[in-house]
Structure 1
Amino acid sequence: MPTASRTHPTGPVAEAFEARIREQEERALSPRATRSYPAERERPAADCGLRTPFQRDRDRIVHCKAFRRLKHKTQVFVAPEGDHYRTRLTHTLEVTQISRTVARALGLNEDLTEAIGLGHDLGHPPFGHIGEDVIDRCLRQRFGRRFRHHEHSLRVVERLERDGVGLNLTAPVRDGILCHSGRAPQPRTLEGGIVRLLDRVAYINHDIDDAIRAGVLDERDLPPEPIAVLGGTGPQRIDALVHDVVEHSARAGDAIVQGETAGAAMAELRTFMFERVYLGPAARAEHGKIERVLRTLFDHYAEQPDEIPVLLPPADADLAERVTDYLAGMTDRYCIRQFEALTVPSAFNP
């Protein structure tokens, strides 16, 4: 694929930057690591003289609107009372930090890993996985389509950001974003495989922490077998899982994997969390309310499409995409405000 040459060099540092990075990567990175050059983008673009292509992707993600909205999107607890619960943004940062640790230990490309980690949940809708399930069912029932947040994350960076132009990210970053979910094919790069696995490591352990803080769980409720294997605290479990991934992946060479014992322990914790937290009594109590909010908005905008803001040129999206793009991009609080505007008389709606 042709690439545009660098333009407007600022001096000798910029002129020598790519050659220096290439030399450093050949010397320091694993032969299986993804190299930063050449940049493989849908639209050729001039390289930056002070950032690698993956660093540039990272910056484009951090500065985009969808990334800023993550701070007001649910991770597990809807509109939590308190400042210390995770949001989709803090989850994203935690996944990225842990993933970079693994990439560094394995001699893989940290910049690529970071860009994938920061972009992996850009397409998550309001109200966490409950919101994803509701939008998916609405789409299936009205339009015969499916909603998957990992697929929508790719749509955000390719089609929705920058008024429909997209972020023009490199192919390995786009692949890692799309394939971070267990419902997607395996990523093409080991760096993408890191984010795919460490996303699960992060959310299981951090969600346990938040569930205990919220009083949904007591530490004594946790299943004893995986706790005995991985540790009694969140930091201990994450540390054990990270070390396990690094050691077993180093031996595997061509894949990011867990050891059998640690993998089984984490799987048991995940099953426990789905039963007790994600789909437990507290979540089910909120599920009906969230479904009513999202379904009301979905049906309204499907029937009144003129009320949907223009996110893309009209010819670039059909009705199902327009409704989905608008709803999935909402923060929790904006979604509630739109629901109130539709259902509460204006005299009672502050």
Structure 2
Amino acid sequence: MPIASFKPEAFESQWIDSNSALADVCQQWLSEPYLAVDTEFVRTTTFYPKAGLIQVTSSQGDFLIDPLAISDWQPLKDVFLHPLVVKVFHACAEDLEVCQRLVGCVPEPLADSQHAAALVGKGASMGFQRLVADVLNIDLPKGETRSNWLERPLRPEQIQYAVADVHYLYRIYPKLVQQLKTLGRESWLAEDCQRMVDQANTPESLSGYFRRVKLAWKLRSQELFVLQQLAAWREQQARERDVPRNKVIDDASMWNIARFKVKNRDQLIRSGMKPASVKADGGDILKLVSQALELDKSHWPKQLDRPLGPEAGQWLKELKVVINGQAETLELPAEILVRKKPLEALLRSAFPHGNGELPELLCGWRQEIIGERLLQKLQQLAAAD
């Protein structure tokens, strides 16, 4: 069947730009079995996303909520937390951040259509345009992706683009649910989406951000402690100033400062910091480094794990053979079955003795489907050595 062309004139949406109008529609939404939800935001020069629009489709139609005109978000918060109303997003990570920042909660129960599509065998990380074409046979343009959603009034093209996302998502969701039921995987989606909610509700502590810095594993414990303090300071400053992290200081500069334990402004510049940044923040950074170096080793974090060596790498290849075989049998993307971090965590827990422990991300439905198979393989590998 040929793909149908997109017809924006078919959409009629209701614009919600007052607290009373939002309260009225939210009262209706409390009786819906599910809602399709999306957000549009701007995040080019800020740390936090600036919400420009919230789109919702229910059985009653398509709605556009103007966050620039709303001050009372409690009615929408009640909807977002209602246990009988499923909130359906597509690739929801940033949307959850917008909702948490604007409305004050992470929506749950949650269903992510991108993840649902992967669980029914449509491939990992499928974009919404491809999903609409695959499920509804409609060619959806994406020309407004980088629009300024904070401008008013919004252009007709922006409005039609925004409405299309939730209008079609609302139609796609029950089709995906039916496929999941047929495959016996509906509970898989619920479990994985609940994990997304839990993760969004449990942000990383400031002291943990140093682990994100590339090559942090190369630093010794005291140097790693300096990096930990720098990364925590940067995180706090980025939030207070509402700017991207690298506008405060970039990863490479932090790594160099920690590695070489800089002591003056010239060394800060040689580490990679821009002169303007050194002028603005150099004093604070030098003080932070000096204080970190004065503390004894009881404060130092453990050195991070080094990359897996060749022998462990061979075990990893053997595990991937098991994963790929099971993924092929189930017609699932291998990366949905087992992602890189939990796989490496499992291997590190077992190598070289074979007595591994399943990480949390390989428990639940994955334990029976693939986790136990991987543990058995690890035991075989250890016995063969």
**Range into which the TM-score falls when normalised by the shorter chain:** 0.3 to 0.5
Q: Which has more radius of gyration?
A: 2
> By percentage of residues, which structure has more strand?
2
The structure showing larger relative contact order (alpha-carbon pairs under 8 Å, at least 6 residues apart) is: 1
> By percentage of residues, which structure has more helix?
1
- TM-score, normalization: structure 1? 0.33
- TM-score, normalization: structure 2? 0.31
